Chain A
Amino acid sequence: MEHIELFFKSIFIDNMVFATFLGMCSYLAVSKKVSTAVGLGAAVIFVLAVTVPLNWLLDQYILQPGALKWLGAEYADYDLSFLSFIMFIATIATMVQLVEIIVEKFSPSLYNSLGIFLPLIAVNCAILGGSLFMQSREIASLGLSLTYGVGSGIGWFLAILAIAAIREKIRYSSVPPALRGLGITFIITGLMAIGFMSFGGMLTGGDEEKKESPKVEAKVEKKEIKEAKEIVAENTIINE
């Protein structure tokens, strides 16, 4: 149950793109076509699923205050948490490189579709963000960290897939010239994020929302629902 809850929470409620804006750079740059978006999305799921558990182990047994206890009692006082940025990013960069080599060796076809995105991913904030959120939210076990990694990856994948589909279709609409391209993508993402906010109370019963939005009033919520509906309508039009 814990796993399922965390899984859906990381996909919908704490969606990487819409709730925390991680990985926006590649999200905006690589979302012009659905096929490339799928490739990058798959690579992100894969790398997150590998690096988050790995960094969890690193955090648990090396970086946390007192984590070095397994070396002997005299190490119990060490606190290496200030090193976590450098350790996490080094793990990520190495893992990405390693994954690239392994995939190239064993599955050339996968490498052809995924390979060009892998180097891009080392500097994707979603990956480092995944590890840092894992650390700051104090995910409890290795299994949960794997669930969290996969869930966040899928959330990111969904987001980039949706925006790529919308951008492919929006080419045929007459957007004001100055908004074309980047501008309209921002605004659509904003609207989608508002839509995703409606998942907020899905699992938690709404008690987590207080921190985010203490001042939002009923009026705003109504507007939000209206806009969410618009997005649904928009999506159905696009699907047709």
Chain B
Amino acid sequence: MGLLSKKDAALLTDPLADNNPITIQVLGICSALAITAELKASIVMAVSVMFVLGLGNVVISLMRNIIPSKIRIIVQLIVVATLVIIVDLVLKAFQYELSKTLSVFVGLIITNCIIMGRFEAFALGNKPWRSFLDGIGNAVGYGVILIIVGFFRELLGSGTLLGFKVLGDPIEKTGLYAIGYENNGFMLLSPMALIVVGIIIWIQRSKNKALIEEN
């Protein structure tokens, strides 16, 4: 780790598991659930959030000494909104179909609590480079959960991954479907996202007892 000191590296790796924004800090749930029916949408969402959070953290951190604390929420919202407009226009230009699928959820990155949460908790009190690492770390932690949920929902729901058939019959009448397997269409419906995240939380907390909440 030539470039990163130990402390800086922790900023990147902590949010991946023990301080995960979704399962532990409970931030940014809305988008995590609504768009995970396909793996591709999850990946695009994760990348968009990474862009907005990484860059936004740097911008806020650079301005941290000149933002009056009374209007900081509006300033933060304007910074995020500007970055999100960039993401939205890029998506519309290069991935039009996908931007239709994501519909309002690209816009909702603005109110994604991860972003405001990290601005408030970290970027306002730290130097740009550390804020950048924190932003990327949290966005990756968010993305990991999104990708896991998207993976299972697409695999079990429509038997594909990124649009390619995975659970198909490679030669006719020999694959999974021939022995009676059916796609679980239920996985494509939105409530299943909640249950999948619930199960992820269950598994994570069973592995790390320190995270268990008092009732």
Contact = CB atoms under 8 A, between A and B. Distances in A.
Interface of A: 18-25, 28-29, 82-86, 88-90, 93-94, 119, 122-125, 127-129, 132-133, 136, 170-171, 175-184, 186-187, 189-191, 193-194, 197, 212-213, 215-217, 220, 223-224
Given A82-B85, A124-B111, A132-B108, A28 B188 contact: no
A132 B214 contact: no
Contacts of B184: 220
Given A22-B30, A183-B201, 11 more contacts: A24-B33, A86-B81, A90-B81, A125-B30, A129-B30, A132-B107, A183-B205, A187-B195, A190-B191, A216-B188, A223-B186
B185 A28 contact: no
Interface of B: 23, 26-31, 33-34, 73-74, 77-78, 81-82, 84-85, 88-89, 103-104, 107-108, 110-113, 116, 157-158, 183-186, 188-195, 197-199, 201-203, 205-206, 209, 212-215
A177 B183 contact: no
Contacts of B110: 85, 89, 128
B185 A213 contact: yes
Contact of A186 (B34, B81, B197, B214): B197
Given A25-B113, A86-B85, A128-B108, A213 B26 contact: no
A190 B85 contact: no
B111 A182 contact: no
A182 B212 contact: no
Given A175-B215, A180-B215, A187-B195, A25 B185 contact: no
Contacts of B209: 177-178
A136 B195 CA distance: 28
13 contacts: A18-B191, A23-B30, A24-B30, A89-B110, A177-B212, A178-B201, A184-B198, A186-B198, A190-B198, A215-B183, A215-B188, A216-B189, A220-B186
Contacts of A82: 85, 88-89
Contacts of A178: 201-203, 205-206, 209, 212
A85 B194 contact: no
Nearest to B198: A186
Interface centre among A82, A85, A86, A215, by most chain B C-beta atoms within 10 angstroms, is A85
B185 A215 contact: yes
A146 to B, nearest CB: 20
A129 B104 CA distance: 7
B108 A125 contact: yes
A215 B111 contact: no
Given A216-B185, A220-B186, A125 B112 contact: yes
Contact of A21 (B73, B107, B183, B190): B190
A100 to B, nearest CB: 12
Contact of A193 (B27, B104, B112, B194): B194
Interface hub of B27, B116, B191, B205 (most chain A Cβ within 10 A): B191
A9 B193 CA distance: 22
Contact of A182 (B23, B107, B190): B23
